[in-house]
């Protein structure tokens, strides 16, 4: 009975092909450990890394069956993903930070998204400020210091709109990388932002902590704005959204810039990447067998479920990591970079936000903040490359959660 | 870090370095300066470029470079929109990116145009890249691939080097952009070439870092000791060559630094060179010290001398500048870095 409960065998349409999904914690541990063993000895610049770092919604494609009753498995996966996410940050601090690699057009598109986030943030903050008392303090949390340039952009845009508004803004910049916090520290004075630490009411704090550490302890309904800059694709589970939402005022806005693609949601796409980096036939076969990947069959089934911008984002994401591998091959690398992350599609992100009490409906956003980005006729969500979801900026607002009356 | 060829210093500073510039020797000095630039940068290795990048980040200057690009793109996009309004719809808008590097500047401009109704302008763009380093061909190609459906491939033209500029026809470009390039060039008669190459209704948009640190050997002596830990003998010889001593050097730097504006720039360069030296040592790479940074006002004067209008009150009625609030944006405070737009003085025929 235990074996029957712990292993659910799915018969594929092709006779003789079976993928096993594991729902027992021990079995999942063995399954993920087996995946790790495949790549342990191979010397390639990029490798998958910890399996449970992918988006929880795609676990089943990788043989992990999360169901509502198995809380122990969920907690294990979440803790393990957080552990390896922290390790990735520490490795990036010590060895190589992907942000140091110039990969076109991704680098340009990320920079453009920063500029757009700054514009949106400034326009919304100005509108929010107009609805508050004249001397009210506005609080903005920014997740991802990005060395200070994002803050520099936001402050510059705010100053363009209203020279005095900065005095009444308090920025809280969250960054779990010690190296990036130190960089931001050295950048603030150069960008002329250090004096903002001592403004009349507003100012800066640089917080060396994760978003969960911050939002779980922040007062409820206190933030006017949250900016999430290329951070959500590192969160396999959406639990943090509850605390984040709770910390926001009812009319606050959440601006999200992120990379989107279904790349890590099915092993067939990873198989394609591993093939293209010439990882070796033996490893490819082990990977294929471990996840019961039938490349052509699987890929064709999944592609039909994607729209054009999602398919392009898949190509862009694949292309990005191929170039990272090429770039690392050109130089010295002391450590491989691990690529598995919790990327979703734009549609999946919107659904997840909706489930956690946010709306991304453009009409609602323009009703709440009339005229934002009007001068450039920018639609939200804004795809930096209109043909691809890969780098997209969106805005989310709190919506009232439905309450059910007791029976 | 070797000092490098002093003829690469900004031309207006040479007299402080005991080099006299006259009408008779100017051309020769310029040729020497350009030759030194090519020789010094020809041998710059991948490790040295990595060291530069790491030092920029470690000094907190990285965001400044990002912001320079961002602001340059916004200003250039505004100008391109204006130029497009005054050109027949079947004519290309010709843009040249000087010192294109890995394509960041052009990419940022094209991304600005990709938003909203401006996207229709992309079909009219024809882009020339001027970049002497062959290493950047791949990133530029990769960057331009993402615009292939919007900009036909045959509209992209790659030039090789600044030496190509004199071979190009008059009035070839509507807009020339350049980010963090001209601080390498002390005799920018390229400005003269550019005023010839840019159409009368066009514009030149420059992003750059500005500092006085190369203007006087006393500043450099201070850097040799405090950023590069030069040994006493070398420092003494350097100071003797330029008729100074440590007491004068120290006083010169500290007096200048009492002005917070100047202090920001001097400290910024001091930190950058300190970090650059460390990063070069780590990578066993070499780079020459002196460059051609100058102050914003000195740059504007050179532009004026080489046929450009720099004053916004004389630019704002020109079609390319219509509706703009100004032609200069300070990106890093105390005029440490900024973006400016200028136009050839020549009138429309």
pLDDT value at residue A18: 60
Phi, psi of B130, deg, nearest 5: -110, 115
Residues paired with residue B98 on neighbouring β-strands, in sequence order? B130
The alpha-helical segments, DSSP class H, found in chain B are 26-42, 46-58, 62-85, 104-113, 137-145, 190-197, 217-226, 232-241, 246-257, 260-283, 296-305, 312-315
Least Cα distance to A120 among A392, A398, A399 occurs for A392
Q: pLDDT band for position B53 (50/70/90)? A: confident
Looking at chain B, the whole-number percentage of residues with pLDDT higher than 90 is 60
Kindly report whether the peptide bond that precedes residue A105 is cis, defined as omega within 30 degrees of 0. yes
Give the residue carrying structure tokens 């903040």.
A369
In whole angstroms, give the CA distance from residue B318 to residue A7: 74
Q: Is A187 on the interface with B (CB under 8 A)?
A: yes
**Cα A58 off chain centre by:** 15
In whole angstroms, give the CA distance from residue A256 to residue A225: 11
Q: What is the DSSP annotation of B235-248?
A: HHHHHHHTT--HHH
Give the residue carrying structure tokens 């229709």.
B120
Residue A210 contacts residue A176 (beta carbons within 8 Å) = yes
Output DSSP code: residue A237: S
In whole angstroms, give the CA distance from residue A200 to residue A263: 47
For residue A100, list chain B residues with Cβ-Cβ distance below 8 A: 53-54, 57
Partner-chain contact A191 B116, CB within 8 Å: no
Q: Kindly give the parts of chain A with pLDDT less than 50.
A: 1-17, 404-407
Task: Give counts: helices (H), strands (E), chain A.
Answer: 14, 12
Residue B339 contacts residue B331 (beta carbons within 8 Å) = yes
pLDDT value at residue B41: 80
In whole angstroms, give the CA distance from residue B286 to residue B306: 34
For residue A331, list chain B residues with Cβ-Cβ distance below 8 A: 46, 50
Residue B51 contacts residue B287 (beta carbons within 8 Å) = yes
Output DSSP code: residue A64: B
Q: Is A377 on the interface with B (CB under 8 A)?
A: yes
Nearest Cβ partner of B117 from A102, A153, A377? A377
Model confidence at B349: pLDDT above 60:
no
Partner-chain contact B139 A104, CB within 8 Å: yes
Question: In the predicted model, what is the mean pLDDT of residues B170-182?
Answer: 94
pLDDT value at residue B161: 67
- Number of CB atoms found within 10 A of residue A75's CB: 12
A–B interface: beta-carbon pairs under 8 A: 120
Structure tokens at B108: 């940022």
For residue A192, list chain B residues with Cβ-Cβ distance below 8 A: 332-334
Strand B93-98 with A18-22, pairing: unpaired
Q: Is A383 on the interface with B (CB under 8 A)?
A: no
pLDDT-wise least confident of A48-57, B40-49, B59-68, B157-166: B157-166
**pLDDT tens sequence across A349-384:** 999 999 999 999 988 998 999 888 776 678 889 999
Partner-chain contact B66 A149, CB within 8 Å: yes
**pLDDT tens sequence across B224-282:** 999 999 999 999 999 999 999 999 999 999 999 999 899 989 999 999 999 999 999 99
Residue B340: strand, helix, or coil: strand
Residue A154 contacts residue A204 (beta carbons within 8 Å) = no
Task: Return the residue of B nearest to A181 by Cα.
Answer: B60
Least Cα distance to B78 among B213, B224, B203 occurs for B203
Q: Which position has the higher pLDDT, B43 or B205?
A: B205
Nearest Cβ partner of A183 from B60, B69, B334? B60
Phi, psi of B160, deg, nearest 5: -95, -45
Residue B162 contacts residue B181 (beta carbons within 8 Å) = no
Looking at chain B, the whole-number percentage of residues with pLDDT higher than 70 is 95
Q: Which position has the higher pLDDT, B158 or A55?
A: A55
**Cα B198 off chain centre by:** 17
Partner-chain contact A192 B333, CB within 8 Å: yes
pLDDT value at residue A70: 85
Residue B330 contacts residue B296 (beta carbons within 8 Å) = no
pLDDT value at residue A199: 58
For residue B271, list chain A residues with Cβ-Cβ distance below 8 A: 186
Question: In the predicted model, what is the mean pLDDT of residues B330-344?
Answer: 94
> Under 8 Å CB-to-CB from A69, ≥6 apart: which residues?
none
Residue A67 contacts residue A23 (beta carbons within 8 Å) = yes
Least Cα distance to B206 among B223, B222, B225, B185 occurs for B185
Question: In the predicted model, what is the mean pLDDT of residues B82-87?
Answer: 95
pLDDT-wise least confident of B31-40, B137-146, B150-159, B266-275: B150-159
Classify burial at A259, counting beta carbons within 10 Å of its beta carbon; exposed 0-12, middle 13-18, buried 19 or more.
buried
Sign of CA dihedral B97, B101, B105, B106: positive
Task: Return the residue of B nearest to A187 by Cα.
Answer: B60
In whole angstroms, give the CA distance from residue B46 to residue B39: 16
Q: Is A105 on the interface with B (CB under 8 A)?
A: yes
The ipTM estimated for the assembled molecules is 0.85
Partner-chain contact B64 A191, CB within 8 Å: yes
For residue A385, list chain B residues with Cβ-Cβ distance below 8 A: 114, 146
Give the residue carrying structure tokens 């060396």.
A208
In whole angstroms, give the CA distance from residue A142 to residue A175: 9
For residue B104, list chain A residues with Cβ-Cβ distance below 8 A: 102, 107-108, 111
Task: Give counts: helices (H), strands (E), chain B.
Answer: 12, 8
Partner-chain contact B104 A107, CB within 8 Å: yes
Partner-chain contact A100 B53, CB within 8 Å: yes
């Amino acid at each position: 009975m235990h074996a029957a409960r712990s292993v659910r065998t799915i018969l594929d349409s092709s006779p003789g092909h079976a993928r096993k999904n594991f729902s027992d914690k021990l079995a999942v541990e063995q399954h993920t450990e087996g995946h790790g063993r495949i790549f342990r000895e191979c010397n390639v610049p990029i490798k998958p890394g910890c399996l449970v770092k992918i988006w929880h919604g795609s676990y089943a494609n990788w043989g992990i069956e999360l169901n509502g009753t198995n809380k122990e498995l969920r907690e294990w996966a979440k803790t393990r993903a957080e552990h390896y996410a922290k390790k990735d940050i520490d490795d990036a601090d010590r060895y190589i930070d992907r942000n140091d690699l110039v990969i076109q057009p991704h680098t340009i598109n990320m920079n453009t998204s920063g500029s757009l986030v700054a514009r949106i943030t400034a326009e919304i903050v100005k509108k929010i400020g107009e609805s508050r008392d004249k001397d009210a303090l506005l609080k903005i949390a920014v997740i991802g210091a990005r060395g200070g340039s994002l803050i520099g952009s936001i402050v510059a845009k705010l100053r363009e709109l209203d020279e005095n508004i900065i005095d009444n803004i308090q920025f809280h910049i969250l960054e779990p990388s010690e190296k990036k916090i130190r960089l931001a520290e050295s950048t603030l004075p150069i960008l002329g932002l250090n004096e903002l630490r001592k403004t009349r009411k507003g100012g800066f704090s640089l917080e060396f902590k994760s978003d969960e550490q911050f939002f779980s302890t922040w007062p409820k309904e206190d933030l006017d704005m949250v900016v999430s800059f290329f951070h959500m694709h590192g969160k396999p589970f959406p639990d943090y959204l509850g605390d984040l939402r709770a910390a926001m005022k009812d009319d606050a806005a959440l601006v999200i810039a992120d990379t989107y693609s279904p790349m890590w949601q099915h092993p067939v796409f990873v198989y394609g990447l591993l093939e293209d980096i010439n990882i070796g036939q033996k490893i490819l076969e082990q990977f294929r067998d471990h996840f019961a990947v039938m490349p052509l069959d699987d890929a064709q089934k999944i592609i039909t479920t994607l729209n054009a911008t999602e398919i392009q984002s898949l190509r862009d994401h694949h292309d990005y990591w191929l170039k990272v591998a090429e770039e690392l091959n050109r130089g010295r690398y002391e450590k491989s970079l691990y690529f598995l992350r919790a990327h979703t599609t734009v549609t999946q992100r919107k659904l997840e936000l909706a489930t956690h009490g946010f709306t991304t409906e453009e009409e609602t956003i323009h009703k709440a903040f009339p005229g934002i980005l009007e001068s450039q006729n920018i639609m939200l969500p804004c795809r930096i490359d209109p043909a691809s979801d890969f780098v997209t900026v969106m805005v989310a607002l709190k919506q009232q959660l439905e309450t059910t009356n007791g029976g | 870090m070797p000092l490098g060829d002093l003829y690469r210093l900004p031309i207006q500073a040479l007299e402080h370095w005991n080099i006299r510039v006259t009408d008779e020797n100017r051309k020769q000095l310029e040729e020497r300066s350009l030759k030194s630039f090519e020789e010094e940068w020809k041998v710059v290795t991948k490790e040295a470029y990595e060291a530069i990048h790491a030092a920029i980040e470690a000094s907190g200057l990285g965001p400044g470079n990002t912001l320079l690009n961002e602001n340059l793109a916004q200003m250039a996009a505004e100008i391109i929109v204006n130029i497009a309004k005054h050109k027949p719809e079947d004519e290309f808008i010709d843009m040249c990116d000087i010192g294109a590097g890995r394509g960041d500047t052009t990419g940022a401009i094209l991304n600005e145009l990709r938003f909203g109704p401006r996207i229709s302008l992309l079909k009219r763009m024809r882009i020339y890249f001027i970049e002497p380093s062959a290493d950047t061909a791949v990133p530029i190609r990769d960057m331009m691939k993402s615009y292939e459906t919007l900009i036909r491939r045959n509209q992209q033209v790659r030039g090789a080097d600044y030496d190509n500029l004199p071979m190009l026809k008059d009035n070839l470009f509507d807009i020339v952009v350049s980010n963090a390039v001209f601080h390498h060039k002390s005799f920018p008669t390229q400005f003269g070439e550019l005023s010839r190459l840019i159409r009368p209704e066009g514009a030149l948009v420059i992003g750059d870092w500005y500092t006085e640190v190369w203007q006087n050997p006393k500043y450099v002596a201070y850097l040799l000791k405090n950023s590069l830990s030069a040994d006493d003998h070398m420092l003494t010889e350097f100071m003797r060559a330029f008729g100074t001593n440590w007491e004068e050097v120290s006083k010169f730097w500290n007096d200048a630094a009492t002005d917070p504006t100047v202090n920001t720039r001097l400290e910024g360069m001091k930190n950058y060179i300190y970090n650059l030296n460390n990063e070069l040592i780590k990578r066993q790479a070499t780079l020459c010290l002196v460059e051609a940074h100058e102050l914003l006002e000195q740059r504007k004067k050179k532009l004026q001398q080489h046929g450009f209008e720099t004053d916004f009150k004389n630019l704002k009625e020109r079609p390319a500048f219509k509706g703009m609030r100004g032609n200069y944006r300070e990106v890093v405070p105390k005029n440490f870095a900024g973006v400016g737009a200028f136009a050839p003085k020549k009138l429309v025929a």
